[in-house]
Amino acid sequence: MSNLLYLIAYKPFNVLTQFSGEKPEETLQVLDYDFPKDVYPVGRLDKDSEGLLLLTNDKRLNHKLLDPKFKHEREYWAQVEKIPVQRALEQLNKGVKLKDGLTLPAKARILDTEPDLPPRDPPIRFRANIPTAWLSLTLTEGRNRQVRRMTAAVGFPTLRLIRWRMENLFLAEMQPGQVRVLTDIERTELLKRLKLK
């Protein structure tokens, strides 16, 4: 058990959640860390999404977080086009009908202030005549491009998407491309939440 490694990374925009590919600058090789060969990302973030990525060589943890029957919380911050109306938030909270069926209820709310995040490179396309808002969406399932599909389905397309939290792990003060080892407290709490300790 002592050789198990638990890391979190801030995946930058325009980077694939993999270590190999034809363009190394578009893979996790851009992260400033010497990863052991047996450490892999748990789940994925799309190339055009940013944020918290958990990496480990703990196969039990990998299984718990990827098997849909073990629902775990992931909180996303989505910058959306226009200011969502109450009805849209209620739809997100109840579940949204997508092509692959009804989503599980989410916890959706508008963030009171724009989050203090590192700028995206390149920035989103700015249109002065269309306001934007930041939503917090907490999901317990992980369908392909789910947040983007949900916000679009209720009429507020996502412009920028960041995974802010996974269970008890937060991006906090991290910068794009940064990697760090989980603290003992974070690791213990995560394993406890997932009933692995």
> What's the CATH number where 93 sits?
3.30.70.1560
Regarding whether 96 and 39 lie in a shared domain, the answer is: no
pLDDT band at 66 (very low <50, low <70, confident <90, very high): confident
Identify whether 1 is part of a domain: no
Q: What is the pLDDT of residue 126?
A: 76
Regarding whether 87 and 39 lie in a shared domain, the answer is: no
Regarding whether 173 and 111 lie in a shared domain, the answer is: no
Quickly count: other Cβ atoms within 10 Å of residue 23's Cβ: 8
CATH number at residue 10: 3.30.70.580
What domain range includes position 144?
74-166
Asked if 38 is an active-site residue, the reply is: no
Per annotation, catalytic residue among 46, 48, 58, 67: 46
Percent of the chain with pLDDT over 70: 99
Identify whether 141 is part of a domain: yes
Q: What is the pLDDT of residue 2?
A: 62
Regarding whether 116 and 62 lie in a shared domain, the answer is: no
How many separate domains does the chain show? 2
Regarding whether 79 and 43 lie in a shared domain, the answer is: no
pLDDT band at 143 (very low <50, low <70, confident <90, very high): confident
Please name the residues in contact with 73: beta carbons below 8 A apart, sequence gap of 6 or more.
138, 139, 140, 165, 166, 167
Q: What is the mean pLDDT of the chain?
A: 93
- Exposure string over 143-173, b if 16+ CB within 10 A, otherwise e: eeebbbbbbbbbebebbbbbbbbbbebebee
Regarding whether 149 and 111 lie in a shared domain, the answer is: yes
pLDDT band at 124 (very low <50, low <70, confident <90, very high): confident
